[in-house]
Amino acid sequence: MHWERLSEDVYVFTSDRYAQVTASLIVSGTIGVVIDTLPFPQETSQIAYFARHRCPDGVRYVIFTQHQADHTYGAFLFPRAEIVSHALAREILLDRGVKALDQAKTMNRELELVRLRIPTLTFEKGSFTLRLPGKTLELVTTPGHTPDAISVILQEEKILFAGDTIMAVPTIGEGDLMQLRSSIESIAAMPLESIVQGHGEIILRGEIKDNIRRSLNYLEHLSTKVANVVETGGTLDEARSITIESCGLQRVLLNGMVTQLHAANVAALYQKLKAQQATQENAIALKRVIDKATASKDRAGVTSAARAAKVTGLSGIETASSAETGGTEQVSPRRPRSRQTGKRSTEARKTRARKARANAVKTSKTSVRKVRTSRGDNLQAKRGQGAARKKQSDRKPSKRAAIKKRATTNRDTK
């Protein structure tokens, strides 16, 4: 590792072991602020030793410009410092930081001493300001290399600690080319005296414009050339034939490591453009299916295709108007249900349940009424039968009455 003094209170340390990654120390009165650390404890321990002598009250803050190992693994050597980062960096480290460190330890025993530090002071959008004795640090979001990337501006001296947003070769990494370009353009508009890159040498005021112009030119050539390969149906191997020189940079930078970074850029951009192309082709195919089903008045086919579009997340697929609807159908991706929608759904379910209970009670009352009616009809029928038998019995005299009547008749005859 070697170090240099950028100003009276600013020191920059550069690793000799890994890709010229940088870390910085800003002295503010009796305390210090470290921006990024070096990946190997042997090198970062030298920074910690230097900081103890230069800052009597120790290092107050360690700022992560992003979550990757070469910027974060040395933070455990500053146990009293508060870790500052973008909120997304904290989420990423919590999600997969420990697992990644365990894997790294299996490959390099020197990392056995490393303990992962999780950021405790974070921000999400815009900028965040740290005010120190005689120093003002403004943290700004500069996504592109990674989605959680930030840069730090030392306002009093107009020094930008750019992290991996500014490098010898712009690197997409886990991020997005368009975001990276936008972040570099925003840096170009800043009135700066110098830029500390995430990897490589310090860029002084007279070199800033040329370096930014070369970076933007590289990204433009890279995106154009890879897009041409994808549009013509080329393979990833054909895309890898795009050289860094054809994109406007030299391969000698960062001790030749820029060729590896360039190859990674080509592969990442190719995969992203291929995924976008596949999505567009699927959208066109689904549109054809829906149009065909609509023209043949196959409502089941339209519904099936629309459901497929929702599942795949395709939107904006318009179909010809059908005879039944007399208009245009549009398939939109399924949106996440909001709390209000969920509330309405719950109320609708409760309403349906109340109606079902009311119908059940109504049905039950009707059944009881029918049973009572049938019982009344049966009772009335029995009463009618009894009255009929009584009437019939009144018409026909009994045997005793007949005998008595004959006896009376015989007596009268005598």
Q: Where are the domains of the chain?
A: 2-201, 234-346
Residue 263 pLDDT class (50, 70, 90 cuts)? very high
- Res 18: pLDDT: 93
Q: What is the pLDDT of residue 285?
A: 81
Which of the residue ranges 147-156, 160-169, 247-256, 390-399 would you say has the lowest mean pLDDT? 390-399
pLDDT tens profile 307-358: 666 555 554 444 433 333 344 334 344 444 444 545 556 677 777 777 777 7
197-246 pLDDT, tens digit per residue, is 999 999 999 999 999 999 999 999 999 999 999 999 999 999 999 999 99
Residue 331, pLDDT score:
39
Q: Is the pLDDT of residue 296 over 80?
A: no
Q: What does the angle CA 289 – CA 292 – CA 296 come to, to the nearest 5 degrees?
A: 140
What's the confidence (pLDDT) of residue 357?
74
Q: Give 59-103 pLDDT, tens digit per residue.
A: 999 999 999 999 999 999 999 999 999 999 999 999 999 999 999
For residue 338, the model assigns a pLDDT of: 47
**pLDDT tier, 386 (very low <50, low <70, confident <90, very high otherwise):** low
Give just the sign of the alpha carbon dihedral 362, 367, 373, 376: negative
Mean pLDDT for 33-37 is 98
Rg of the chain (C-alpha set) = 43
The per-residue pLDDT for 325 is 39
Q: Can you give the pLDDT at residue 122? A: 98
Most confident region among 21-35, 242-256, 370-384 by mean pLDDT: 21-35
Q: Which fold has domain 2-201?
A: Metallo-beta-lactamase; Chain A (3.60.15)
pLDDT of residue 251: 86
Which range has the worst mean pLDDT, 3-12, 49-58, 338-347, 403-412? 338-347
- Average pLDDT score, the chain: 84
State residue 334's pLDDT score.
43
**How confident is the model at residue 262, as a pLDDT?**
95
What span, in angstroms and rounded, lies between the C-alpha atoms of 12 and 25? 7
Cβ neighbours of 65 (radius 10 Å): 30
Weakest mean pLDDT among 21-25, 253-257, 401-405: 401-405
Helix 205-231 vs helix 177-188: crossing angle, to nearest 10: 160
Q: Which two tokens stand for residue 339?
A: 């709390």
Of 43 and 394, more confident: 43
